[in-house]
Amino acid sequence: MTRSVEVGMIWAEARGGVIGSGGTMPWHVPEDMAHFRSRTRNCPVVMGRKTWDSLPQRFRPLPGRTNIVITSDAATSRELEDAGAVPASSLPEAVEMAQSRVGSAEKVWIMGGGAVYAEAVNSEIATIASVTRLDFESEGDTFAPVLDSERWKLVHAEPDQGWSTSTSGIGYRIETYRRR
């Protein structure tokens, strides 16, 4: 029997909700990368095809995690399979595939990008969000979804107040939200 686990979203956003620019993330905050690795370790991850494309080839599929990639294109699906990912044709299908491959993991993580986070919030597929806020102004063309306070509650922030300082010099705070 398939065990069903909680579905989370994980992202980092600069001021104004910027999460991406020109198909990539316009910052390098090693502490956020470490947080991402630790949160998602051993868990299936779900992403849109453009986020998959944004990963450097040598890092994909992300190791130790089933990488499920959403695309509407059949030829891309075959390429993804050859590259070691699991293609899916919609977010619900991707999450169902992730749930069936969950093993001993405690969560399935949706890891972007903008289009997929927006659908995950609107469809109420996700019940938890791990948001790294960056105290940093960035140009951008892709944005985080808005976590409406009527539906989402901040349950944890590290640090509680203010910012930690990354070795990159950028201030950051890691927040966890739960859907009410």
**Binding site residues, ligand NAP, CB under 6 A:** 11-12, 19-20, 23-25, 47-51, 54, 70-73, 76, 89-91, 111-116, 119, 142
C-alpha dist (Å) from residue 44 to 23, 84, 94, 146: 23, 13, 10, 24
**Closer residue to ligand NAP (CB): 76 or 168:** 76
Which residues have CB under 8 Å from 57's CB, separation 6+? none
**Closer residue to ligand NAP (CB): 69 or 105:** 69
> How many CA atoms are closer than 13 Å to the CA of 101, on its beta-carbon side?
20
Min dist CB 1 to ligand NAP, Å, is 28
Between CA 19 and CA 110 the distance in angstroms is 14
Min dist CB 132 to ligand NAP, Å, is 7
**Closer residue to ligand NAP (CB): 73 or 158:** 73
CA 148 to chain centre: 18
Min dist CB 64 to ligand NAP, Å, is 18
**Closer residue to ligand NAP (CB): 23 or 103:** 23
Q: What are phi and psi of 30, to 5 degrees?
A: -55, -35
Min dist CB 122 to ligand NAP, Å, is 11
CB-CB contact of 170 with 134 (8 Å): yes
Min dist CB 118 to ligand NAP, Å, is 8
**Closer residue to ligand NAP (CB): 84 or 103:** 84
Q: Select the residue whose beta carbon is closest to ligand NAP and give its number.
A: 113
Between CA 145 and CA 1 the distance in angstroms is 33
